[in-house]
Structure formats: C-alpha cells, structure tokens
C-alpha cells in the first residue's frame, strides 16, 4: 500500500475569540487542524500525530506541527453484512490500530495494524466471529492506544445449557480477554485470569478495565453496537499490561459509562440509580478514591493526560477537571457532537461533521 497525500485542507485560525463561561475562566474557540471534503467516521490522536477514518473508509495519519504530511495506511471499509457497526481507531506512536466489520449470520470483527510510513502492507492480527442471535455469541470491545501500547478486548460467551442457548456465560478461550499488539506482527493475550471487558484504558505499562458481565441472556447480544453494560457494583481493575497481575481495584457505586487512565489518576463517569452522573477519581496504584465531581452531565467518554480530565457535556460543550484540585472548567463549545474527543499532552482534539464536511478541532491547555 503506497502512502499518498490526502485531499485535505489544513486551516489554522489566526485569532481566538474568548467567551466567558459560567463556573470557568474562559472558553476558547478551537483552531482547525484539518478539514476534509467528506465526513469523518472516527478520530484518534497521540502527542505527535492525528488519525482519522474518512468518508471513503481510508485510514489516514498525519504528523502535527511544522509541514504536516498525510499518509494513507489502510482501509476500514466494511465487508458485506456488517450491520452498521462503527469502526474503531487508536494510535500509539507511529503505530495505527483499527477495526473492520462484516459477516452474514456471524458478525466478524477484524483488527488491523500498521506502522506509519512502513513499506509493509497492513496486517490483520485478530479475527473474532460471533453469532448474531440464536446461539453462542459475544462482542468486540474497545481498542485503545497510549505511549507505546496498543490493546483491545473481546468477550466470548458460550451456552450455559447446550440444549438451550437462551443464557450465555463467559468462557476462557483464545478469543476471550484482553490483548496487546506486538509491534506490527502479532498479539499477546494477557493471562486467562484477565477477563474480557466492556471498558478499557491504558497508560504506560498499566491497563484499566471494567470486566464484562459473566452471564447474559442471548437476547442481550442482538445489537453488537450496544453490548450489555457491566452491572452496578462491578469492580474496575488496574493490571500490569505485560503480566496481567492485579495492581489495584475499586468499586464505583453506580454503572461505569466511561473509563480513563494516566500515570497519576484513573477516572470514571459513574451513572447512579437516579440517572445522575458523577466523575470519580481514584489512585491507580492503590484504588483509593481521591475525589468526586457530582452532578456532571458527561457523555459516555472521558480522556486524561497527566492530571487533566477532558469530557463532553450535552454533545457539544468540552469541559476539563483538574484531578488534583477538582477544579472544573469549560474549555470550548463544539459546533457538533465531538468524535474521538481526547487529550494528549497539552492538546485537546476532536473531530466534527458539519454540513457533510469533516473538521479536526484542537485547543492547547494552559
């Protein structure tokens, strides 16, 4: 596969309009890192690169900073019968990880990796297949990347009663658990004691995960885009990304809707029984609760870099929390619901689609 220059137009805004935000210092108008002619389907970033999946399913990467160059690294184009399951995308340094979906009676998820600028073609490192209904099944969980680590999770369920597959239970198998991507050639499954997960986050040599439900009704797997959430009271586990050994764990009181990890904090968006949401912060070395921000209408994603947590509210407002002080600030207001919102170093970035065109927006933290 040959690298090429994408049909994108980089637009840098030379001015920044400041708007006073309630309960915050000042919200900034984000700058535009790039614009595309068609919509953006997925977005990811690390400290030196951004990546996106465009309208034609091309997986593309470009360096940030001086004289950025865009490279085509692969395709996420779905196979026939994918059922509308969205592709995922992650970055770790120069490596890019993404998913493709397809299948008929079985939903197939393939995982692909490539190093930016490498001559070798993308390599498929994993293939999972699950019945859509009427038998054993499962779901493919999130893919994540940070630093030098790329990881993903898959959950494999088998029939509790071979004569009646209405109830399914998680089973140890070569396709059930958490996996690290080795270079651009293969994968390593963490020891079988590490369960498949519904939420996953990485930082350094640590992985945070929310274990999947151990048993589900077969009907709960009918929508692969919305796998069954972990039950309230499910402990979040912090594990060594190489050995799988348990470092710490903690139990949020509600249902975990999002999970993020850095070297100094692990954070969750926690939905309580009354429907309200808190953002809770824990020590990743001990699992001790270090702070709670109550009544936050956060969406189902959160990102952390160092001690800064970033999330969106109501599909458009971008907010941050200082993990040390609990101070909360409105950073910006996005013109549309953010895609792939994350923070890498001091850069907060996300993608939006406006009138059929994609843009990657960014701002720099103080």
Question: How would you write the pLDDT of the chain (366 residues) with one tens digit per residue?
Answer: 433 333 333 333 233 332 333 334 568 899 999 999 999 999 999 999 999 999 999 999 999 877 788 999 999 999 876 667 899 999 999 999 999 998 777 788 999 999 998 888 999 999 988 765 656 778 899 999 999 999 999 999 888 988 888 899 998 888 899 999 999 999 999 997 888 999 999 999 999 999 999 999 988 887 777 888 999 999 999 999 999 999 999 999 999 999 999 999 999 999 999 999 999 999 999 999 999 999 999 999 999 999 999 999 987 899 999 999 999 999 999 999 999 999 999 999 999 999 999 999 999 998
* 302 CB-near residues (< 8 Å, 6+ apart): 258, 259, 260, 267, 268, 269, 279, 309, 310, 311
Block residue for tokens 């297949």: 129
pLDDT of residue 134: 58
The pair of structure tokens assigned to 288 is 């001790």
User: Hey, what are 309's tokens?
Assistant: 């947590």
Assessment of whether the complete model's pTM goes beyond 0.75: yes
Pairing of strands 26-28, 277-282: unpaired
- CA-nearest of 9, 56, 6, 55 to 32 is 9
pLDDT at 141: 93
**Does the 8-360 domain belong in CATH 2.130.10.10?**
yes
Question: How far is the C-alpha of 90 from the C-alpha of 86, rounded, in Å?
Answer: 14
Q: What is the pLDDT, as a whole number, of residue 21?
A: 35
The CA distance from 143 to 141, in Å, is 7
Domain range annotation of the chain:
8-360
* Per-residue buried b or exposed e for 75-94, using 16+ beta carbons within 10 Å of the residue's own CB: bbebeeebeebebbbbbbbb
The pLDDT value recorded for residue 173 is 87
Give the pLDDT score at 219.
85
Residue located via tokens 């198998």 = 173
């Amino acid at each position: 596969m040959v690298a090429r220059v994408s049909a994108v137009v980089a637009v840098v805004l030379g001015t920044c309009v400041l708007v006073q935000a309630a309960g915050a210092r000042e919200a900034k108008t984000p700058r535009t890192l790039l614009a595309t002619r068609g919509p953006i389907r997925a977005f990811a970033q690390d400290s030196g690169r951004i990546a996106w999946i465009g309208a034609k399913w091309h997986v593309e990467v470009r360096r940030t900073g001086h004289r950025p160059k865009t490279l085509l690294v692969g395709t996420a184009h779905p196979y026939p019968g994918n059922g509308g399951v969205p592709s995922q995308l992650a970055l770790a340094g120069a490596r890019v990880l993404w998913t493709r979906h397809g299948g008929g009676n079985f939903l197939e998820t393939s995982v692909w990796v490539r190093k930016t600028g490498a001559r070798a073609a993308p390599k498929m490192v994993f293939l999972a297949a699950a019945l859509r209904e009427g038998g054993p099944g499962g779901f493919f969980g999130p893919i994540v990347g940070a630093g030098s680590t790329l990881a993903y999770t898959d959950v494999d369920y088998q029939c509790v009663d071979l004569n009646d597959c209405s109830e399914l239970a998680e089973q140890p198998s070569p396709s059930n658990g958490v996996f690290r991507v080795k270079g651009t050639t293969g994968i390593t499954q963490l020891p079988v004691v590490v369960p498949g997960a519904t939420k996953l986050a990485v930082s350094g040599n640590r992985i945070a995960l929310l274990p999947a439900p151990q048993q589900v009704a077969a009907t709960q797997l009918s929508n692969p885009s919305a796998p069954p959430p972990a039950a309230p009271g499910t402990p979040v586990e912090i594990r060594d990304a190489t050995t799988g050994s348990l470092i710490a764990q903690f139990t949020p009181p509600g249902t975990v809707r999002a999970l993020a990890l850095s070297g100094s904090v692990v954070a969750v968006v926690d939905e309580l029984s009354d429907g309200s949401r808190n953002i809770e912060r824990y020590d990743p070395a001990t699992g001790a609760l270090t702070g709670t921000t109550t009544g936050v209408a956060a969406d189902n994603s959160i990102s952390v870099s160092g001690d800064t947590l970033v999330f969106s509210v109501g599909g458009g407002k971008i907010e941050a929390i200082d993990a040390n002080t609990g101070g909360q600030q409105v950073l910006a207001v996005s013109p549309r619901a953010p895609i792939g919102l994350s923070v890498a170093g001091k850069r907060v970035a996300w993608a939006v689609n406006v009138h059929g065109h994609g843009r990657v927006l960014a701002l720099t933290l103080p």
